[in-house]
Structure 1
C-alpha cells in the first residue's frame, strides 16, 4: 500500500514537471531573446563609439577637409595633422589648417592655423549648445577683406545674401577657457586708410565657475601701438556675467564694463566703454593709420 502511494506521488511530480516544462522553456526563450536584443543594441551603440575613438583620422585628413569644405562652401586644407578622441576627454586637434576666401573676393586665405586643440562636452550638444571646455590656438592668421563696391566680404559664407539677410544658424557657442598665442588679424578695406592690423602675443580667457571670479588678459599691438587688456569676469546668475576690463592702447587708457547675459542660450552683450587720451592726434592716427 505504501509502495503504491509512493509510486503515485512520483507520477504526480513527474506529471507536474512535464506540464511546467514548456512554460519554463518559454520563459528561458524570452529571457534569451531579451538578452540577445539588449546585446545587439549595445553592440550597435558601441560600434560607432569605437569607430570614432580608434579610427585613424590623420590618414584621411584630405577627405575630411573636402567634406568640411563642401559644407561651408570654401576650399579647406589640412596639411599637417588631424586627430580626434572620444574619451577620456573628447578632443579635436588639427595642425596646418587653411580656409580660403571666396573666389573673386580675395586671394588671401580667410584663416591659417599652425595648430589648434579643442576639448568639448558631449552632453550639452543634446540641448543644441556647443560647449568648448578648453580651446588652444597657436599662431592663427585671420585676413578680413571687404569690397564695399561689390558688397562682398570674405568672412560671409553666402555671397548671394545681403548683410541684413545673413544670420548665424549654428548652435550657441560657449568657450569656457581660451588660450591664443601669436595671433595676427588683418582687416583690408577698400579705403586703405581704414586698414587695421592686430597682433596678439597672448590672449587668455577663463569663464568663472560657481561664485568665483575669472580673468581676461591680452597683450599685443594694434596698428603699431602697444595693447594691453586686463580684467575679470564675475558670475552673477545661472548663466549671466559681469565684466570689468581695463584697456591700455598707446596713449589711450580706459575701461570696458557691462554684462553678458544668457551665455548658454546665444549671448546678449551690454557694454559701456570709457576712454581718455593724452594725445588725441596720435590716438586718432592709430585708428586711421593711412
Structure 2
C-alpha cells in the first residue's frame, strides 16, 4: 500500500511538473504561431520542455522509493547484505551526486571476524558519476556519524572494504578522498602483519583545530600497542591538492615510545607529512619490525628531530639525541621507492662512549649504558656471559635485515671516551649496504695516539656469510694502551701492525673460529721502567738493586708478536721482546674456536746475577679467564740443587741461583722481517682474501 501511494504521489508530481513546464513555455498565439514556424523551432521547444521536465523530476523525485531496490542491488553485486535502514536521499549535479543515507548496515564477507564492514547512524558522501561508467567508485568526500567499522585484510590480498564479490580485486576498492567521522569506533585486523587494533573516536568542536580525538589499543607487528592523539575533523585519505590537516600522536609499541605533532596531506600514504617527533626505546634494531628500517643494534636511545615525507622519500632533519651514553646528531633520508629501499645519512657524535659499541658486535649493553636514557626501562639482558666463560660475541647475523634495504651512511665521533681502558680518541666510518653486502670502508679509529684503519666486508648474500677484515695499525703508543705504564711515567716506542683475516660465519665467534690470515704487532725502540722485566725474569739480584736504587729506565730494543691463523688456530710465528736486560722468546697458540690459550715464554737474562730462580712462564686458560705460572721442572731442579748445596754449606746454596746470563741481543731487523711475512699456505691465502675487502 505504501509503495502504491508513493507511485501515485510520483505521478502527481510529474503531472504537475509537466503542467508547469507547459505554462512556462506557452506563448500567446497572436504573437507567435507555432504552426507557421520551421520544424527546427518546434523540436527545440520540445527539447527545452523535456529538459525542464527532467530537471523538475530530479529535483522533486522521491528518492527514498528506491531504497529497497538499492539495498537489493548492492547486496547482489557485493555478495553480502547491504541495507539503508531509514531513508535515502540524492542530490544530483553535473559531475557527481551527493547521497545521504540515514541508517546504514553493510555486512562483511563471511571470512571476516567482524560481522559488519560499517554500521552508522548517518552516511553522507559525494560520488563521481563519470567514473561509474567504467566501474570505478570515486568518493571525494565521506562523512560518517557514530560509525562502527570492521576493517580486515588477509595475506592473499582479500580486504573487507573491496566492494566486489572478489575482495582481492584492486579495481573493486573505492577511492576515498576526504573523510569525516563524528564519534564511533574502528577495528582493523591483519594477522599476517601481526596487527590487531581497536580505535575509539570522539568529536568535540571545543578542541579547536583538532576536534577529533582517538584512543588505540591492540597489537602492532605482534607487539602490544597503545596510542592517543587528536586530528582535524576532516581527514584526507587520498585527496590531492587539499591543504594538510593537523595530527598528533602519543604511542607505545613494546618498549618503543613515539610522540609527534604536525600535519599531513594524505592519511593513506602520509604524503605531505611535516612533524616534530620524539622517539625513544631500548634498541634501534627494534625499529626493523615496526617500520621496516634495518638499523643496527644499539643501547637504549632517545632521538628527536623534524620529520618530512614527500612521495616515497622520508627525511629526518635536525636530528639530535642520545644512544646510551653517547650523543648523536645529523640528517637521514629513507627512500621507499627503489627496491630494495635506500637509507642514507650523515651522523656525528661530539662524544661517543665506548660502552655503547658493544651491541654493534653482539654484546649486551653495560649497566651504565642500559640505564642512561630517562623513561626507558633497561633491557633485561645486561652483559650476559656465554657458556663456558667464552667472551667472543656469538650474536648471529640477521640475513633478512641485510637484504631488506641498501644504505650509505657516514658516522663520525669527534671524541671517544675511554671507559674500558682502551684509549680510543676519535673515529669515523662509512657504512654501505648493497644487495646484502655490508662494508665498513673506510673505517678509521684513533687509538692510543695512533690509528686503526682499514675495511670490513660482510657478504650476507651467502649463508654462512663471507666475512673479511683488513685493518692496519699505525703509530700506537704502548704506554697509552697499558694505562699502568702511562701512570708511572714510562714511555714505550710506537706500535705498528695489521689484521688480515677472512672466513665464513654468522657471528663474530664462529667467524673467528674458522678464519685464516695474518695478525702482527711490531714495535721499535723505547724505554720503560725495569720493574716489569725484573718480575718477569725473577732475577733476585735485580730485585735487591731495585729496592736499593729505585726504578731505572730499561731500553726496549724491539718487539714482535705475529700469528699465522689457519682455520681458527692462531699459531705464534714470531713472539719476541728484546730489552737491555733480557730477551723474551715465546711459543704457543690461541684456539679461537675454543678460546683456549697455550703459551710458553722463556726469559733469557743478559747479565750475571745471583738469587735467580728464572724459569719459563706458562700462560694457559682461556681468553675470558687466562691463567699464568712457571714451568715446574726447571724450578724444582734449581730448588733441589740449592737444598743439596745448602746441606754442605748454607752459603753454597746461593750458587744454585746464579744466572750466568746466556741471553744475547736479538737481531731486531730479522725479527721484524719474519713478523711481517705470513707463512705460505692457508695463512697467506686468507690474508690475501682479506685485503680484497678494501676499496681499490
* Coarse TM-score class (shorter-chain normalised): 0.5 to 0.7
Match of 2:185 in 1: 184
Q: 2:161 aligns with which of 152, 155, 180?
A: 155
Aligned pairs for 1:89-238 (under 5 A) are 91-106=98-113, 108-118=115-125, 135-148=142-155, 152-158=158-164, 160=166, 162=168, 166-167=170-171, 174-175=177-178, 179-190=180-191, 194-202=195-203, 217-223=211-217, 225-229=227-231
Alpha-carbon offset, residue 277 of structure 1: 4.5
Q: Partner of 1:219: helix, strand, or coil?
A: strand
| Distance in 1 of aligned mates of 2:34 and 2:259 | 79
Task: Judge conservation of contact 1:231–1:246 (CA < 8 Å) in 2.
Answer: no
The change in CA–CA distance for 1:195 and 1:45 in structure 2 (over 3 A counts) is same
| Aligned residue pair count | 227
Q: Which moved more, 1:93-102 or 1:245-254?
A: 245-254
Alpha-carbon offset, residue 220 of structure 1: 1.8
- TM-score (normalised: structure 2): 0.27
Alpha-carbon offset, residue 119 of structure 1: 6.2
Larger-gyration structure (1/2): 2
Q: Which has the higher contact order (CA 8 A, sep 6+)?
A: 1
| Distance in 2 of aligned mates of 1:77 and 1:129 | 19
Structure 1: segments with no counterpart, 5+ residues: 1-26, 205-214, 234-238, 261-266
Alpha-carbon offset, residue 140 of structure 1: 1.3
Q: 1:33 aligns with which of 39, 43, 65?
A: 39
The change in CA–CA distance for 1:33 and 1:48 in structure 2 (over 3 A counts) is same
Task: Judge conservation of contact 1:216–1:232 (CA < 8 Å) in 2.
Answer: no
User: RMSD of the TM alignment (CA)?
Assistant: 4.6
| Distance in 2 of aligned mates of 1:186 and 1:73 | 22
The change in CA–CA distance for 1:198 and 1:101 in structure 2 (over 3 A counts) is same
| Distance in 1 of aligned mates of 2:145 and 2:80 | 22
Task: Judge conservation of contact 1:221–1:227 (CA < 8 Å) in 2.
Answer: yes
The change in CA–CA distance for 1:93 and 1:217 in structure 2 (over 3 A counts) is same
Aligned pairs for 1:14-93 (under 5 A) are 31-86=37-92, 91-93=98-100
| Greater fraction helix | 1
| Distance in 1 of aligned mates of 2:89 and 2:171 | 30
Task: Judge conservation of contact 1:78–1:96 (CA < 8 Å) in 2.
Answer: yes
> C-alpha offsets along residues 55-113 of structure 1, whole Å, 9 cap, x if unaligned?
222233111222233444442101111122448xx643211111111233445111112
> C-alpha offsets along residues 173-231 of structure 1, whole Å, 9 cap, x if unaligned?
654xx542113110134379631011211299xxxxxxxxxx66531211164322369
Task: Judge conservation of contact 1:105–1:147 (CA < 8 Å) in 2.
Answer: no
Q: Partner of 1:110: helix, strand, or coil?
A: strand
The change in CA–CA distance for 1:66 and 1:168 in structure 2 (over 3 A counts) is closer
Structure 2: segments with no counterpart, 5+ residues: 1-32, 218-225, 252-256, 291-696
The change in CA–CA distance for 1:56 and 1:36 in structure 2 (over 3 A counts) is same
The change in CA–CA distance for 1:129 and 1:141 in structure 2 (over 3 A counts) is closer
Aligned pairs for 1:231-246 (under 5 A) are 240=241, 243=244, 245-246=246-247
Alpha-carbon offset, residue 41 of structure 1: 1.1
| Distance in 2 of aligned mates of 1:125 and 1:158 | 14
The change in CA–CA distance for 1:187 and 1:34 in structure 2 (over 3 A counts) is same
Q: Partner of 1:93: helix, strand, or coil?
A: strand
Alpha-carbon offset, residue 115 of structure 1: 0.8
Q: Partner of 1:247: helix, strand, or coil?
A: strand
Alpha-carbon offset, residue 121 of structure 1: 8.8
Task: Judge conservation of contact 1:185–1:198 (CA < 8 Å) in 2.
Answer: yes
Q: Partner of 2:153: helix, strand, or coil?
A: strand
Task: Judge conservation of contact 1:232–1:245 (CA < 8 Å) in 2.
Answer: no
Q: Partner of 1:269: helix, strand, or coil?
A: coil
The change in CA–CA distance for 1:34 and 1:67 in structure 2 (over 3 A counts) is same
Q: Partner of 2:271: helix, strand, or coil?
A: strand
